[in-house]
Structure 1
Protein backbone atom coordinates (compact mmCIF):
# COMPACT_ATOMS: atom_id res chain seq x y z
CA UNK A 1 0.00 0.00 0.00
CA UNK A 2 1.15 3.50 -0.72
CA UNK A 3 2.95 2.32 -3.86
CA UNK A 4 2.97 4.95 -6.62
CA UNK A 5 2.42 3.62 -10.13
CA UNK A 6 2.44 5.30 -13.53
CA UNK A 7 1.04 4.39 -16.92
CA UNK A 8 3.38 3.71 -19.83
CA UNK A 9 0.81 4.83 -22.44
CA UNK A 10 -0.65 8.03 -20.96
CA UNK A 11 -0.06 10.55 -18.16
CA UNK A 12 -2.11 8.64 -15.54
CA UNK A 13 -0.55 8.04 -12.12
CA UNK A 14 -2.07 6.32 -9.10
CA UNK A 15 -1.33 5.50 -5.47
CA UNK A 16 -2.38 2.08 -4.18
CA UNK A 17 -4.72 2.56 -1.21
CA UNK A 18 -5.66 -1.09 -0.66
CA UNK A 19 -4.32 -4.22 -2.34
CA UNK A 20 -5.20 -7.93 -2.12
CA UNK A 21 -2.76 -10.19 -0.28
CA UNK A 22 -1.93 -12.17 -3.42
CA UNK A 23 -1.34 -9.08 -5.52
CA UNK A 24 -3.10 -8.04 -8.72
CA UNK A 25 -2.11 -7.04 -12.24
CA UNK A 26 -2.91 -3.33 -12.55
CA UNK A 27 -2.91 -1.88 -16.06
CA UNK A 28 -3.80 1.39 -17.74
CA UNK A 29 -4.75 1.57 -21.40
CA UNK A 30 -4.04 -2.14 -21.74
CA UNK A 31 -0.39 -1.87 -20.63
CA UNK A 32 0.91 -2.83 -17.17
CA UNK A 33 1.57 0.07 -14.81
CA UNK A 34 5.13 0.54 -13.55
CA UNK A 35 6.64 2.16 -10.44
CA UNK A 36 6.30 5.94 -10.85
CA UNK A 37 10.03 6.55 -10.39
CA UNK A 38 10.95 4.32 -13.33
CA UNK A 39 8.25 5.52 -15.75
CA UNK A 40 9.25 7.58 -18.76
CA UNK A 41 7.28 10.84 -19.00
CA UNK A 42 4.40 10.52 -21.44
CA UNK A 43 3.26 13.69 -23.18
CA UNK A 44 -0.33 14.69 -22.48
CA UNK A 45 -2.59 13.86 -25.39
CA UNK A 46 -5.58 15.86 -26.51
CA UNK A 47 -8.02 13.04 -25.77
CA UNK A 48 -10.61 13.06 -23.02
CA UNK A 49 -9.36 11.75 -19.67
CA UNK A 50 -10.68 8.31 -18.75
CA UNK A 51 -8.81 8.26 -15.43
CA UNK A 52 -9.63 11.35 -13.38
CA UNK A 53 -7.41 13.03 -10.80
CA UNK A 54 -8.66 12.82 -7.21
CA UNK A 55 -10.98 9.87 -7.91
CA UNK A 56 -10.73 6.43 -6.33
CA UNK A 57 -11.08 3.32 -8.46
CA UNK A 58 -11.86 -0.22 -7.28
CA UNK A 59 -11.80 -3.64 -8.91
CA UNK A 60 -14.88 -5.86 -9.24
CA UNK A 61 -14.09 -7.74 -5.99
CA UNK A 62 -13.46 -4.48 -4.08
CA UNK A 63 -10.06 -5.84 -2.97
CA UNK A 64 -7.92 -3.32 -4.88
CA UNK A 65 -8.37 0.41 -4.48
CA UNK A 66 -6.25 3.14 -6.07
CA UNK A 67 -6.32 6.94 -5.92
CA UNK A 68 -5.60 8.77 -9.15
CA UNK A 69 -2.93 11.48 -8.68
CA UNK A 70 -2.61 12.46 -12.35
CA UNK A 71 -5.31 12.21 -15.03
CA UNK A 72 -4.80 10.20 -18.18
CA UNK A 73 -6.60 8.95 -21.25
CA UNK A 74 -6.08 5.25 -20.47
CA UNK A 75 -8.69 3.17 -18.63
CA UNK A 76 -7.58 1.40 -15.45
CA UNK A 77 -8.02 -2.37 -15.29
CA UNK A 78 -7.22 -5.09 -12.78
CA UNK A 79 -6.44 -8.59 -14.06
CA UNK A 80 -7.94 -7.60 -17.43
CA UNK A 81 -11.25 -6.34 -15.99
CA UNK A 82 -12.00 -2.56 -16.12
CA UNK A 83 -12.00 -0.84 -12.73
CA UNK A 84 -14.90 1.38 -11.66
CA UNK A 85 -15.20 4.64 -9.77
CA UNK A 86 -15.65 4.08 -6.05
CA UNK A 87 -19.04 5.31 -4.92
CA UNK A 88 -19.06 8.04 -2.30
CA UNK A 89 -20.30 7.04 1.13
CA UNK A 90 -23.62 8.70 1.95
CA UNK A 91 -23.45 11.22 4.78
CA UNK A 92 -25.69 10.69 7.78
CA UNK A 93 -28.90 12.67 7.87
CA UNK A 94 -28.67 15.88 9.84
CA UNK A 95 -32.37 16.11 10.65
Structure 2
Protein backbone atom coordinates (compact mmCIF):
# COMPACT_ATOMS: atom_id res chain seq x y z
CA UNK A 1 0.00 0.00 0.00
CA UNK A 2 1.15 3.53 -0.68
CA UNK A 3 0.06 5.70 2.27
CA UNK A 4 -1.09 9.28 1.72
CA UNK A 5 -0.49 12.27 3.99
CA UNK A 6 -3.61 12.77 6.13
CA UNK A 7 -4.77 9.17 5.72
CA UNK A 8 -6.18 7.47 8.84
CA UNK A 9 -5.20 3.85 9.49
CA UNK A 10 -6.62 1.51 12.13
CA UNK A 11 -5.22 -1.67 13.58
CA UNK A 12 -7.06 -4.92 12.91
CA UNK A 13 -5.86 -6.46 16.20
CA UNK A 14 -6.41 -3.69 18.78
CA UNK A 15 -7.64 -0.09 19.21
CA UNK A 16 -4.60 1.67 17.69
CA UNK A 17 -5.37 4.43 15.18
CA UNK A 18 -2.77 6.61 13.44
CA UNK A 19 -2.67 9.45 10.93
CA UNK A 20 0.01 9.54 8.23
CA UNK A 21 2.00 12.78 8.74
CA UNK A 22 4.76 12.07 6.23
CA UNK A 23 4.43 9.42 3.52
CA UNK A 24 7.17 7.54 1.65
CA UNK A 25 7.36 7.58 -2.13
CA UNK A 26 7.24 3.77 -2.33
CA UNK A 27 4.74 1.09 -1.38
CA UNK A 28 5.16 -0.11 2.21
CA UNK A 29 3.36 -2.45 4.58
CA UNK A 30 2.34 -0.72 7.82
CA UNK A 31 1.53 -3.14 10.62
CA UNK A 32 0.35 -2.94 14.21
CA UNK A 33 0.74 -5.98 16.43
CA UNK A 34 1.99 -7.94 13.41
CA UNK A 35 -1.16 -7.44 11.31
CA UNK A 36 -1.52 -4.98 8.43
CA UNK A 37 -3.34 -1.74 9.24
CA UNK A 38 -6.37 -0.73 7.18
CA UNK A 39 -8.64 2.21 6.46
CA UNK A 40 -11.19 2.29 9.32
CA UNK A 41 -14.04 2.66 6.80
CA UNK A 42 -13.01 -0.42 4.81
CA UNK A 43 -14.48 -2.92 7.26
CA UNK A 44 -11.31 -5.04 7.15
CA UNK A 45 -11.49 -8.46 8.78
CA UNK A 46 -9.89 -8.78 12.22
CA UNK A 47 -6.23 -9.79 12.07
CA UNK A 48 -4.20 -12.17 14.20
CA UNK A 49 -1.86 -10.51 16.69
CA UNK A 50 1.80 -11.49 16.99
CA UNK A 51 2.55 -11.61 20.73
CA UNK A 52 6.16 -10.50 20.05
CA UNK A 53 4.83 -7.23 18.58
CA UNK A 54 2.52 -6.18 21.40
CA UNK A 55 4.58 -3.49 23.20
CA UNK A 56 1.91 -0.82 22.79
CA UNK A 57 1.52 2.63 21.23
CA UNK A 58 1.26 5.95 23.04
CA UNK A 59 -1.37 8.62 22.42
CA UNK A 60 -0.02 11.78 20.78
CA UNK A 61 3.41 10.32 20.02
CA UNK A 62 4.95 10.37 16.56
CA UNK A 63 6.51 7.21 15.19
CA UNK A 64 9.00 7.73 12.38
CA UNK A 65 11.65 6.19 10.14
CA UNK A 66 13.71 8.92 8.48
CA UNK A 67 15.34 6.50 6.01
CA UNK A 68 11.96 5.44 4.63
CA UNK A 69 10.50 8.93 4.94
CA UNK A 70 7.46 7.91 6.98
CA UNK A 71 5.95 9.48 10.08
CA UNK A 72 2.76 8.41 11.87
CA UNK A 73 0.88 10.24 14.65
CA UNK A 74 -0.93 8.01 17.16
CA UNK A 75 -4.47 9.33 17.70
CA UNK A 76 -5.77 6.31 19.64
CA UNK A 77 -3.42 4.07 21.65
CA UNK A 78 -3.48 0.31 21.76
CA UNK A 79 -1.49 -2.77 22.77
CA UNK A 80 0.14 -3.42 19.37
CA UNK A 81 3.50 -2.05 18.20
CA UNK A 82 3.86 -0.16 14.92
CA UNK A 83 6.18 -1.47 12.19
CA UNK A 84 6.89 -0.74 8.52
CA UNK A 85 7.93 -3.62 6.25
CA UNK A 86 8.67 -5.68 9.37
CA UNK A 87 10.93 -3.05 10.99
CA UNK A 88 9.69 -1.56 14.30
CA UNK A 89 8.90 2.16 14.21
CA UNK A 90 10.51 4.00 17.14
CA UNK A 91 8.97 6.98 18.90
CA UNK A 92 10.31 10.16 17.32
CA UNK A 93 12.44 12.14 19.76
CA UNK A 94 11.90 15.81 20.47
CA UNK A 95 14.36 18.28 18.97
CA UNK A 96 16.35 20.41 21.39
CA UNK A 97 15.41 24.08 21.44
CA UNK A 98 18.16 26.59 20.67
CA UNK A 99 19.72 28.33 23.64
CA UNK A 100 18.58 31.90 24.14
CA UNK A 101 20.76 34.68 25.51
TM-score, L = length of structure 1: 0.84
* Cα distance in 1, alignment partners of residues 68 and 13 from structure 2: 25
- Give runs of aligned pairs for residues 1-95 of structure 1, distance below 5 A: 1-39=5-43, 50-59=56-65, 61-95=67-101
- 1:24 Cα deviation after fit: 1.3
**Alignment RMSD:** 2.0
Aligned pair count? Answer: 89
Stretches of 4+ aligned residues off by more than 3 angstroms:
none
Contact 2:14 2:78 in 1 (8 A): yes
Runs of 5+ consecutive residues of structure 1 not aligned to the other structure = 43-47
TM-score (norm 2): 0.79
Shift of 1:54: 0.2
Q: Name which of structure 1's ranges 78-87 and 52-61 shifts more when overlaid on structure 2.
A: 52-61
Structure 2 unmatched runs, 5+ = 47-53
